[in-house]
Structure 1
């Protein structure tokens, strides 16, 4: 219950932060919109259809896709984020903090990246291409920020021909910063290999198997100096799981030696949680 409340609070606060970045940094400089909004703007210009209606129609299949692939809680959290962001943009004044479009693009993009990364870590999204990016990461582990940047960059590139290339380039800079910041916070794609050397192999193994849905390989080892028998447990986890694994290992054996290395790639089955 506490964890869920913390997630909801984080999503609400982060969504307000997104609205703040839009109204204080990005919108006053007329920085172009990527994502679903950008697609809707392009279709609206080409067909003269109502842009607001197009945004709604484009989001419907994405919401359905997210519900089917990512679950109802993810979609509910995403809808909460969208609603809070929309409301915050209504009462936060659209007043530029800086008149420099480059600085506005960089700092606005960084703030959006921080907020979006925290929303992802809390189990939600800001909607649109964020949901598509999350679905794509289920198929193959890739940095989420890079995927979102690639999706948005295509839209902004097309809009550059229609609107203004200077604004398009400012937008590309903002989206790039946002993607980099998201990847520094949302690290689910990063895998770690743990080698745990312990005298209490059974206790550590039981603790991990009880709480962690990961395969564990157990080897017999011997201390070179003490010649004492020890167990060596090897497992691969996501970076998100590291704090919990540290706590579980310490509770089972406070004197366990744990070597943690970042994994370049993996082959075979690995449960994506």
Structure 2
């Protein structure tokens, strides 16, 4: 059911991207960022639909992601790219409004919503999303900010090919997209997690097998019951919270779990790089 839910979210987000591209951005020659923006440039200069260019240009990047981010993530990304490409073939390229600024703002918001929910569903739109996720594995930088920096190259290219005024509209649209993505994709926000459980060894083992974080274990005692318990402490990202909840409930449904937002993390936040990744697990995202 979780996979089906993710596929539905990715499908809806990809359709939203096709709508935003063909209804708001392309009619005014406002580009999206990254590989999608390059596909738009090619479609405006050559007699071939942007959806086809989008799929072709993403092939080498998706191969790289397959090796670094896991099969499930890349399969979801291929699905997203395919749905977006097909939607761009069938959604007509037409202006919703003649106002270029309105189109860049609303187009940027819609792209940000689509990209954000696709990434939260363990997928991506390919292109610079994959490259940005690979870079955020090494640095705790907001994904939207990272992708915005990578997309600046497309803005400069569009300025030389078209006009600098359109390039500035493109920059505004990409910036808004980055802000919206960071509102939805909250990997860089850290959470302090404390688990009080009578099945400490089992919960610890299950989390270590599936979570890309270290855990500190202390002994505790229930003040009322007097029962001996284990207290597990870890720092996770907000993005991982939805993944961690069922892991704990699977072993101990009666565990007491406390979650609070942490302001700063010092020391080794990630586990050793030699940690064996679980196939399909979104820890790299």
- TM-score w.r.t. the length of structure 2 is 0.77
User: Residues 13 and 49 of structure 1: is their aligned pair in 2 closer, same or farther, counting only changes over 3 Å?
Assistant: closer
The 1:89–1:204 alpha-carbon spacing in structure 2 relative to 1, beyond 3 Å, is: same
CA RMSD in angstroms, aligned pairs only? 3.6
Please state if 1:116 is matched with 2:115. Answer: yes
In structure 2, relative to structure 1, the CA distance for the partners of 1:180 and 1:204 (3 Å cut) is: farther
Distance of 1:43 and 1:92 partners within structure 2 = 18
The residue number in structure 1 matching 2:13 is: 14
Query: Which blocks of at least 5 consecutive residues in structure 2 are unaligned?
Result: 272-282
CA-CA distance at 1:130 after TM superposition = 1.5
Whether the aligned pair in 2 keeps the contact of 1:250 and 1:256 (CA below 8 Å) is no
The reply to whether residue 97 of structure 1 matches residue 96 of structure 2 is yes
**1:62 paired residue number:** 61
Shift of 1:167: 0.6
Question: 1: CA distance between counterparts of 2:232 and 2:70?
Answer: 33
With over 3 angstroms needed to count, the CA separation of the structure-2 counterparts of 1:266 and 1:195, relative to structure 1, is same
Q: TM-score, normalised by structure 1?
A: 0.80
Indicate which of 198, 207, 218 corresponds to 1:202.
198
| Cα offsets for 1:15-41 (capped at 9, x unmatched) | 111001111111122213432354578
Aligned-pair CA distance for 1:104: 1.2
Residue pair 2:25, 2:104 contacting (<8 A) in 1 also = yes
Q: Which region of structure 1 is more displaced relative to structure 2, 206-215 or 176-185?
A: 206-215
CA contact (8 A) 2:199 2:230 kept: no
Deviation at 1:205?
Answer: 6.3
Residue correspondence of structure 1 range 29-68 to structure 2 within 5 A:
29-36=28-35, 38-39=37-38, 58-68=57-67
Three-state SS of the structure 2 residue aligned to 1:139 is coil
DSSP 3-state at the match of 2:217: strand
Aligned twin of 2:27: 28
Would you say 1:80 and 2:76 are equivalent positions? no
Q: Is there any run of 5+ residues in structure 1 with no aligned partner, and where? A: none
Give the corresponding residue for 1:154.
153
- Say whether residues 1:182 and 2:181 are aligned partners: yes
CA distance in 2, matches of 1:119, 1:106: 20
Instruction: Tell me the equivalent position of 1:144.
Output: 143
Higher-Rg structure is: 1
Distance 1:118 1:155, change over 3 A: same
CA contact 1:113–1:181 (8 Å) conserved in 2: yes
Structure 1 position 260 matched with structure 2 position 256: no
Give the deviation of 1:81 after TM superposition. Answer: 1.4
Q: What is the CA–CA distance in structure 2 between the aligned matches of 1:43 and 1:25, rounded to whole Å?
A: 18
Aligned-partner Cα distance in 2 for 1:66–1:58: 14
Contact 1:193–1:263 (CA under 8 A) maintained in structure 2? no
Question: In the comparison of the two structures, how many residue pairs are matched?
Answer: 266
Q: CA deviation at 1:148?
A: 0.9
Mapped partners of 2:253, 2:5: distance in 1: 30
**How far apart, in 1, do the equivalents of 2:218 and 2:81 lie?**
49
Q: Distance in 2 between matches of 1:241 and 1:156?
A: 33
Paired residues of 1:208 and 1:245 also in contact (CA < 8 A): no
Shift of 1:218: 3.4
Q: Which string of whole-angstrom CA distances, capped at 9 and with x for unpartnered residues, describes residues 34-88 of structure 1? A: 323545788999xx99998987775443222112112233222222212211211
1:96-129 superposed Cα distances (whole Å, 9 cap, x missing partner): 2222211111111111111111111122211211
